[in-house]
Amino acid sequence: MKNKLVLIAAVSLSLNLFFIASQVLPNLIQRAVPAPVASNGSVNPPAWENNLFDEINPVSGYQINAKFGKLGPRMVKGGVIDLKKFKDIYTRSGQTLTPELEKILEQESVENIVINRDNSYFLLNFFWAVGLSNKSQILDNGEMSKYGGRADLGNFASTGGWTLSKTEAMNYYSSDNLIPLNPAQESLVKRVAENIYRPCCNNSTAFPDCNHGMALLGVLQLMAADDANEDEMYQAAKYFNAYWFPGNYYDLALYFKETSGKNFAEIDAKLLLSKKYSSASGWRSAKNWLIENGLQQEPPKQGGGCGV
């Protein structure tokens, strides 16, 4: 009888440890991945996950009505992108900067921009440089500007963390009129940016203190310059965020599917991107609901952290 009780206690302890590991380890792993784990910034999910993963990160990508134009060559010439350093980060991670992507940095591009699994990491770094260096009222007079002088501004992940320029990042902060915007367009970008959050923190895109916020700011500015409307900008941000945070948006897509029966494409973009869902606290709340209801699934690994 005594041996039987010991066996039961051992089994019970093992099950409890397994349960704890299943809840904690996935989140630790997500936070620990510092760079893309594959050329597409994600991993191939199990077959039963494919449908949901394909909803948040469509294989065909997501196209916006905006072009790179001469942004790449201008940033390389201006120094906010050091081409050698940019290539080196791919070499260090065991990847290759493809000729197609390298061409965007060196030549004018007239093709509409498409974000997909293969180029999401490239676009994160590319638009990080755009958002950082483009002359912007959000950078000059917004939340970022309230943090003391330029030395303090240089301590954010989106500023001090940008190490791919010729000289220190703050030399390029809001310094180049890459994407000229009229007052109405500036106002549109600010209004939309204030309502878009990201799962790595509780700040909006109007406070772009990390690479994801700064990069999305650059995307919104480019779209505004091409006369995109508010709905188009929210829709684009929905998919750019999902490619940059595949694990978090897998959870959010599953949450909406279970609570409202909606597929990812059907979720209102402005609602999804709000602080209630897309901030770190909002995503965690949705994640906890999935766990509490026994609906948690293993999401794809994150594409990267808040650095190059």
239, burial (CB in 10 Å: exposed 0-12, middle 13-18, buried 19+) = buried
Phi, psi of 66 (to 5 degrees): -155, 155
Q: Quick one: pLDDT at residue 296?
A: 86
pLDDT single digits (tens) 120-131: 999 999 999 999
**Would you tell me how many other CB atoms lie within 10 Å of the CB of residue 263?**
13
pLDDT single digits (tens) 178-220: 999 999 999 999 999 999 999 999 999 999 999 999 999 999 9
- Domain boundaries of the chain, sorted by first residue: 33-308
Position with higher pLDDT, 44 vs 114:
114
Q: How confident is the model at residue 305 (pLDDT cuts 50, 70, 90)?
A: low
Phi, psi of 9 (to 5 degrees): -65, -40
Report the pLDDT averaged over residues 67-78: 98
d(C-alpha 51, C-alpha 306), whole Å? 28
Average pLDDT across the chain, whole number? 84
Tell me what percent of the residues of the chain surpass a pLDDT of 90.
Answer: 73
Q: Quick one: pLDDT at residue 84?
A: 95
Report the pLDDT averaged over residues 84-100: 89
